[in-house]
Amino acid sequence: MAVNETERRAMARALELAARGPRGVNPQVGAVILSPEGDVIAEGWHHGAGTPHAEVDALSELAPGTAQGATAVVTLEPCNHTGRTGPCAVALIEAGVARVVYALDDPGVASGGGAERLRGAGVSVDAGEQAEVAHELIGGWLTAQQLGRPHITVKWAQSLDGRAAAEDGSSQWITGPDARADVHRRRSAADAIVVGTGTVLADDPALTARDGDALLPHQPIPVVIGSRPTPPDAAVHRHPHPPLFFDTHDLDAVTADLHARGIQSLFVEGGPTLASAFIEAGLADRVLAYIAPVLLGGERLALTDIGVASIDQARRLTVDEWVPLGPDLLAIAHPATDNRLQNEGAL
């Protein structure tokens, strides 16, 4: 059965409702219930972890029996497992819903399979309606589900000859104002920003996302990795979000912890040592290299040891885009292969 215009309009509305929900451990999901005649009789969205899912939130607006023969239009495949709440697929079946239209499949091993369960109960199901729009909304969550950790962007700024700082350690500013403004916009799009204790002690960064002197509306949660203590008067303590500190060099443990907190995207901006550690561990899904037309020489390289002993072990990248930013150039790239699979044989 093809998706009709009424269902398409309902999906557009469900996507608007989904955006009202918070980003976090659970996806942002919206739902609209249509009567057999095509009228909107209920709406709902997921309000956060532990609250009813969007379908159940919408059904809660209806008296028993009202959803008999109705159509549920949902931005994500109704779940098929019991967590803090019961399976949405079962709730729809028990409510008497006759048809379900959804945008994206649920990638979860436990939570997926709702469509199959619905079809098994005789419910008509159509998938993929406005999937691209839905993916734009919860793409970070989907990636985090597939990886079991946040999507990680590793950023650095360098001179044309690959240096992150001059011989005396000074690095402000290698790149110009256009490049720095671009960095702040990308910080604002991330859930968290990560540096090492060395960067905190050397540069005392605020780790905020700014437009000039003004804070941008969304601020990434600051994360500091390393064993050296952060001074109590460090600028990171004045961040709008309380910083997270990890006294460890185990990046897998750090990213797993952040994933459990609902952080879907991580912006690594912690200097050569930390950037190199993430890359060596195969934990760089995207690289942002800001290249300035200056020469510095010396030993302060933008990257240090990343586990490459010979050319055949090189970390190959695919460049997605070259972006001119005033006199500077931004290279946006991703690993040409799964580096962790390549170097370790398995995830």
Q: Is 55 a catalytic residue?
A: yes
Q: Which residue has the tokens 């930013």?
A: 325
Distance CA 4, CA 161 (A): 58
Peptide bond preceding 45 in cis form (omega within 30 of 0) = no
Total residue count of the chain as it appears in this document: 347
Distance CA 227, CA 197 (A): 7
Strand stretches in 25-159, DSSP E: 30-34, 40-45, 71-76, 99-104, 124-127, 151-159
- From the list 7, 55, 77, 269, the catalytic residue is 55
Cα 269-48-101 angle, rounded to 5 deg: 105
For 170-208, b/e burial (b = at least 16 CB within 10 A) is: ebeebbeeebbebbeebbbebbbbbbbbbbbeeeebbbb
φ and ψ at 175, to 5 degrees?
Answer: -100, 165
Q: Which residues are part of the catalytic machinery?
A: 55
